[in-house]
Amino acid sequence: MRNQRIFLSLMLKLLVFISVYYAYYQHFRSSQYKVLESNERLPTITEFRNTSGPFLVDTSACKIPYIDPFDKSLKHMFRKGTALKCAVINDVVYSNGNTIFINWKAVNNSQLKNRMKYCKYEVIWRPYNKKRHHNFFMFKNESKEFVDRTDISNEFIRVKCYTGGGLDVYTNFFSFVHLKADVEDRCEKNAIKFANTRQEQLNVLMMGIDSIARNNMLRYMKETWKYLVNTQNAIDLLGYNKVADNTFPNIVSMTAEKFVNELPRKESLRLVPMDNYNFIWNNYSAKGYRTFYAEDYPDIAIFDCNKAGFNIPPGDYFNRPLSLDKEKNKKSINYALLVIPADKVLRYGKTYKYGDRIKSYIDYQITIQTKPGDAIIEGTLRFDEKRKTYDLVGDVSRINKYGDQSHCIEQNHLKKLCYCKIQP
């Protein structure tokens, strides 16, 4: 379970997409680099870029300037990080392969000593190939009591442990990956169909970390960056850029190749499920891939927050039922949630000298906190030096959760801004 937590915590606001990695890697491999043997280490993305040049991306279609994240002109704005010292606590129940075990040594070293006597589990279930509401899940097949170990044949389970009198004193959640016969059949047929169309087929894991700029990640998440790039040989999508202010329109553009306003949907249809749109993971599925989609916070998931989500799971494997149940039972779980707002580069009360710029405008990121409701709202204002005017660029973002504060508002774009006089 600890390994699963570490994996999920790396994602933060997990956006795992089975996506564009293969085409991106093929482009680099065929145009710039020799094919490596399996025992050779792939170059990291830092080795791909010529750091002596002025551009991070320099192509005929796109030029993105290279900005040194540790430039001396920025040092006065850096903050020293604090090392997190986490207590090492052994899991009372843990998994190994498709088996869960009770760790009685950990039990006897905890407040559960002499109290906990046995455990049982329930299956967290949602059909993966039938239509259901995006928040649907149910519990099935409560197990018999076990005091040592038990094998699991399901995807998601909730484990509860009890005293001799039947009082539950411990709760934990586990996920497992089991082969699915119809998925394997589809993958085998499609893999044969496309076997001769390319030299090599890669496994693909696309991971996004929301609400942090790339340069700030390099400054403050160095160990995570090193692990992803050097250990996992991750590809950094240097040319990926935002096209709007919020997560949803940016991810739609990346995964559906369309702006949100190009999708065949209207504001009045915001409760229509997203199943019929052609997202990139559908292309991978059609070419013989098993697909997996996961996010870590179901209430504000990309396709579910004020939207209808997916009635049919978007991937062959889909963690939403597990995350929904964990969220409902979060009081019984030892966990930490760290929310860090996006970059705050400007500091009021100081005067800055600006270098020569190609464009005659300056962008400011404005953050406002409202009362009542304590909404934290961000927007980008663009100052045109020639016209001496300010214009709002893109959408206005609500960067904290608002729950039912705007329950009286029907228009989706106003929900993040409004506060209803009568609160539920």
Instruction: Look at residue 143 and tell me whether its pLDDT is greater than 90.
Output: yes
Which of 303, 302, 294 lies closest to 326 in space, CA to CA? 294
For the full predicted model, state whether its pTM sits above 0.85.
no
**Is the N-terminal amide bond of 424 cis, ω within 30° of 0?**
no
**What residues contact residue 213 under an 8 Å CB cut-off, 6+ apart?**
342, 343
**How many other CB atoms sit within 10 Å of the CB of residue 165?**
7
pLDDT of 241-284, one tens digit each?
888 777 888 888 889 888 888 877 655 557 788 898 899 999 99
Instruction: Look at residue 39 and tell me whether its pLDDT is greater than 50.
Output: no
Mean pLDDT of the chain: 76
Half-sphere exposure of 332 (CA within 13 A, CB side): 15
- Using DSSP, how many helices (H) and how many strands (E) does the chain show? 11, 16
Give the whole-angstrom CA distance, residue 171 versus residue 327. 13
Instruction: Look at residue 150 and tell me whether its pLDDT is greater than 50.
Output: yes
**How many other CB atoms sit within 10 Å of the CB of residue 137?**
19
Kindly report which listed range (287-296, 378-387, 401-410) carries the lowest average pLDDT score: 401-410
Per-residue burial over 370-381, b if 16 or more Cβ lie within 10 Å, else e, is eeebebbbbbbe
Most confident segment among 107-116, 364-373, 388-397:
107-116
Percent of the chain with pLDDT over 70: 77
Q: How far is CA 280 from CA 22, 235, 373, 413, in A?
A: 12, 18, 38, 26
Domain map of the chain by residue range?
1-340, 343-424
Most confident segment among 88-92, 172-176, 324-328, 341-345:
172-176
Any idea of the CA torsion for 182, 184, 185, 187, to the nearest 10 degrees?
A: 120
Instruction: Look at residue 140 and tell me whether its pLDDT is greater than 60.
Output: yes
When pLDDT is averaged across residues 79-92 and rounded to a whole number, the result is 81
Strand order in the sheet with 376-384: 361-369, 376-384, 389-398
Structure tokens at 173: 């959640």
Q: Decide if 327 contacts 299 (C-beta within 8 A).
A: yes
Structure tokens at 124: 């967290």
Which of 199, 200, 180 lies closest to 188 in space, CA to CA? 180
pLDDT band for position 63 (cuts 50, 70, 90): confident
When pLDDT is averaged across residues 15-27 and rounded to a whole number, the result is 32
pLDDT at position 159: 96
Percent of the chain with pLDDT over 90: 27
Instruction: Look at residue 192 and tell me whether its pLDDT is greater than 60.
Output: yes
Q: Decide if 311 contacts 128 (C-beta within 8 A).
A: no
Query: When comparing pLDDT for 49 and 122, which is higher?
Result: 122
Instruction: Look at residue 103 and tell me whether its pLDDT is greater than 90.
Output: yes
**How many other CB atoms sit within 10 Å of the CB of residue 323?**
24
Structure tokens at 352: 């800055």
Instruction: Look at residue 299 and tell me whether its pLDDT is greater than 90.
Output: no
Q: How far is CA 352 from CA 18, 143, 345, 346, in A?
A: 43, 65, 12, 10
pLDDT at position 4: 44
